Structure 1
């Protein structure tokens, strides 16, 4: 293979930290990645020279990378993964690559379809469940979905008929933080918002054995929080077409989706596509598109009752 040294531009110059720099002075992530590359190379019995030939990188570049002083591009990492016959995650250091058992589990799951993965997740959850199932799970109904799907409107109607409290999780987040979600994001960042979101959900679950919850649209993107919701609530995905979502949000007087963003609809479609698989983990889904409010509510109420009735133990 012809060697290309085009990546040598990423190698430190003579007055920068190189292979001889004190280990403590290097970035911990890059140092750990360098150790992993050296370990993966050793496992395969490859010398640095052999790996250089295989990848087309220079030995000097590899030495810098393995020392923890390099800062490789994603393309270099892909070349290394291909030459070392491993996943990119192994090179970077994903938690699921840190032991042989993790790697065997990854191999077992590789290429499985969604149905098989759901069965595997369920089996693992049963195997490692540390606490008994929540006896109040079906008494808590949580509505998920993007803004404009009808979570607040239908949730209030459902709570009133079922004589349950209605809770908008966004308002609980605001109470805990002492400021609106938009300020949490701007002042403290997305990670802080997700922490408040988790705390708010845990507080609602602890306080209400029976409740209807309208959850923020992005809650599903945080796996720990979403798993908590799924474990303690009967979860319903309220769906709608992108056009319907946009129309309802604008009808509420919020023009922000269209303000200064000609690609708003494309963005919305991408969000729906990106979260579709996560929303699909709900106990049931219900499409609110092209329905009057009365029809949507009555159909939703009956569908939920049918699902919960089917799940109820037979006497």
Structure 2
């Protein structure tokens, strides 16, 4: 009697031999690409257009199923404004000293961590006293950064600076044209240069930064180390209604997926926005109420 035919597990029929190693690599690569894209608040369509790769191919890559060439990976990396190496793993340059410091910090209670941050900023970072002379408001469009920032600057007799407007002045082009000509990566490079110039020229100021400034680690770290930052936040519905009330009907506001996209961007950026020194929620409050709370909070924390 002939022996019964051998059977294969479902996993072995779905993936070829050696999948364990190669498959895990592709899944890790896809997860990293998706993480970087979401962190920058970009849709697959935006990245695919910038990288000149099909949206379907990008979706397969993010799902860990794409067999993509190095050339296309390079295009995707440029669209995400990162070195190609960052697609394979988070950028790491840890030394023994850094690992020792990290282990030490892991055992400190929260109130001691705040003291450590203060001492590091004072002794090794930008002068803390000077940092507190510049207030930077961060957050998504429609939270109230421009309105509250202008009022705060007038109240404190400081210059009010809209970073996006400064970029337009420096380049002689509106933001839409900059994105059209140079893409996301080109704009972020201009944003960093303009921020450096603004902070160099203004020792005291109130600054409203663009919502995506947090997506570039080097730029955001520079802002955090040189400005006292406040995250101005609001509910997604209020973000959208305020932007549209200002007469801004750009594609995102008119798209059926607008609210879903906005929620996704807020969720992806929340951990970054929370690095700010203070948080002010303007949901359900008038401009006057929000401004009074902003002033009181700053006075209590900057004394």
TM-score scaled by length of structure 1: 0.63
Deviation sequence 1:59-101 (CA, Å, 0-9, x none)? xxxxxxxxxxxxx994599xxxxxxxxxxx99946542x8895
- CA RMSD between the two structures: 4.1
**Equivalent residue of 1:136, what SS?**
helix
**Structure 1 residue 255: Cα displacement:** 2.2
1:247 is aligned to 241
By how many angstroms is 1:191 displaced? 1.1
**Which residue in the other structure is 1:231 paired with?**
225
Q: How many equivalent residue pairs?
A: 236
Query: CA contact under 8 A between 2:126 and 2:226: conserved in structure 1?
Result: no
Measured after TM superposition, the shift of residue 240 of structure 1 is 0.4
Contact 2:126 2:225 in 1 (8 A): no
CA 1:119 to 1:182, structure 2 compared with 1: closer, same or farther past 3 Å? Answer: farther
* Aligned pairs (5 A) from 1:2-151: 55=20, 74=64, 92=88, 95-96=91-92, 119=113, 126=120, 132-151=126-145
Distance (whole Å) between structure 1 residues aligned to residue 87 and residue 215 of structure 2: 25
Cα displacement (A) at 1:162: 0.2
8 Å CA contact 1:145, 1:217 repeated in 2: yes
* Match of residue 82 from structure 2: none
Deviation string for 1:104-152 (max 9, x for gaps)? Answer: 78x969xx79x88x959x67x949x865535311110000000001111
Whole-Å Cα distance in 2 between the matches of residues 90 and 216 of structure 1?
24
Q: Deviations 1:258-287 (Å, cap 9, x if unpaired)?
A: 32x212111111111111110000000001
Equivalent residue, structure 2, for 1:304:
298
Tell me the residue number matched to 1:21.
none
Q: Does 1:187 align with 2:181?
A: yes
1:263 aligns with 2:257: yes
Q: Do the aligned residues in 2 keep the contact of 1:237 with 1:280 (CA within 8 Å)?
A: yes
Contact 2:125 2:225 in 1 (8 A): no
Q: Matched residue of 2:196: which SS?
A: helix
Q: Does 1:153 align with 2:147?
A: yes
CA offset digits 1:206-243 (Å, max 9, x no partner): 11111000000000111111111111111000010001
* Counterpart in the other structure of 1:217: 211
Whose RCO is larger (CA < 8 A, sep 6+)?
2
TM-score by length of 2: 0.65
Structure 1's 164 and 75: CA in aligned 2 closer, same or farther, altered over 3 A? same
Report the structure number with the largest CA radius of gyration: 1
CA contact (8 A) 2:234 2:282 kept: yes
2:206 partner SS:
strand
1:283 matched to 2:277: yes
Q: Distance in 2 between matches of 1:90 and 1:210?
A: 36
SS, match of residue 291 in structure 1: coil
Question: Where does the alignment leave 5 or more consecutive residues of structure 2 unmatched?
Answer: 1-7, 23-60, 68-84
SS of 1:236's equivalent in the other structure is strand
Unmatched 5+ residue regions in structure 1?
9-51, 58-71, 78-88, 310-315
